[in-house]
Amino acid sequence: METIVDISDVRKTYAGGFEALKGVTLSIRKGEILALLGPNGAGKTTLISTICGITNPGSGTIAVGGHDVVRDYRAARRLIGLVPQEINLEPFSKVRDTVAFSRGLFGKPKDDALIERILRQLSLWDKRDARVLELSGGMKRRVLIAKALAHEPEVLFLDEPTAGVDVELRKEMWEIVAEMKAQGTTIILTTHYIEEAEAIADRVGVINGGQLLLVEEKTALMQRLGQKCLQIDLQEPVEAVPEALAAYGLELADDGQALRYTYDTRGESTGITRLLGDLSAAGLSLRDIHTEQSSLEDIFVGLVKEGAA
């Protein structure tokens, strides 16, 4: 698959001596949605800022569409749309002017039809003549996206697009992102919300302490690292987990009707066959069994803890 952003061993140390990126290497594929997941201070914004040429990497290289972001800044930047974390709009400007102005900044010719299309797509057309200060927070976020799209970038960076927004608006953002992808735009978004990565990303990168801990297909990640839980429904309730089964670390449901067994899908043996034999030997009859895949959230928390250890 074609690479659109190529990041090689990028390090960044801020003036105070703090090393915010510790050798990040990453290839972003054309047309994908990549979610960069990490806790506060992980280095997500710093990484995006270095890709977008807002801060220079201390060492390492980044190319966007084959253009080095330092040596060939203008060509690289032209391919990038950036939706920043903070709303930094001119309050007295009208929506349409604000968006059209952004296009002009990239030296692109005026294109009223394109601006109209973008505003319509983001449900802002009705507000085209409203001043920014008259908009709701959600509308302002959509204006930021419209601005980032005005020069027709190939790669769109969204830095925490849904931080602090309500559930409805979050879903709306996800729909917008899916539409952008359908149009062929590559999308990189940073988020604290695991459910966001789970909902929309093709691949997920986990970043913590300035290091990219992993990048993987979302579904593969969930399968490879996931723990599964086997729920065993019993014919007759029990008061306690039988002594003979103590080694399995089973959890007993409050009503005594079910046992839960958590196992690692990566392990050589899941222990399920042996457990089922031992359950029967302990005189328990089963009514039903089923498994649950753990969420990306469990995986993420596990990884960040491992990284900190």
Ligand X SMILES: Nc1ncnc2c1ncn2[C@@H]1O[C@H](COP(=O)(O)OP(=O)(O)OP(=O)(O)O)[C@@H](O)[C@H]1O
CB of 20 to ligand X, least distance (A): 4
Q: Which of residues 167-226 bind ligand X (CB under 6 A)?
A: 192
Residue 96 in contact with ligand X, rule: CB under 6 A: no
Q: Contact 12/55 with Cβ under 8 angstroms?
A: yes
Residue 101 in contact with ligand X, rule: CB under 6 A: no
Binding-site member from 14, 91, 129, 244 for ligand X (CB under 6 A): 14
Residue 164 in contact with ligand X, rule: CB under 6 A: no
- What whole-number distance in Å separates Cα of residue 150 and Cα of residue 113? 11
Binding-site member from 26, 28, 38, 99 for ligand X (CB under 6 A): 38
| Residue 45 or 98 having the CB closest to ligand X | 45
| Residue 28 or 99 having the CB closest to ligand X | 28
Q: Which of residues 115-154 bind ligand X (CB under 6 A)?
A: none
Binding-site member from 18, 74, 287, 306 for ligand X (CB under 6 A): 18
- What whole-number distance in Å separates Cα of residue 169 and Cα of residue 165? 6
Number of residues that bind ligand X (CB under 6 A): 13
Residue 109 in contact with ligand X, rule: CB under 6 A: no
Phi-psi label, residue 23: left if phi above 0, alpha if psi -120 to 50, beta otherwise: left
Residue 162 in contact with ligand X, rule: CB under 6 A: no
| Residue 42 or 177 having the CB closest to ligand X | 42
- What whole-number distance in Å separates Cα of residue 234 and Cα of residue 282? 12
Q: Which stretch binds ligand X (CB under 6 A): 37-45, 130-138, 229-237, 245-253?
A: 37-45
Q: Which of residues 46-85 bind ligand X (CB under 6 A)?
A: 46
* Interacting residues with ligand X (CB under 6 A): 14, 16, 18, 20, 38, 40-46, 192
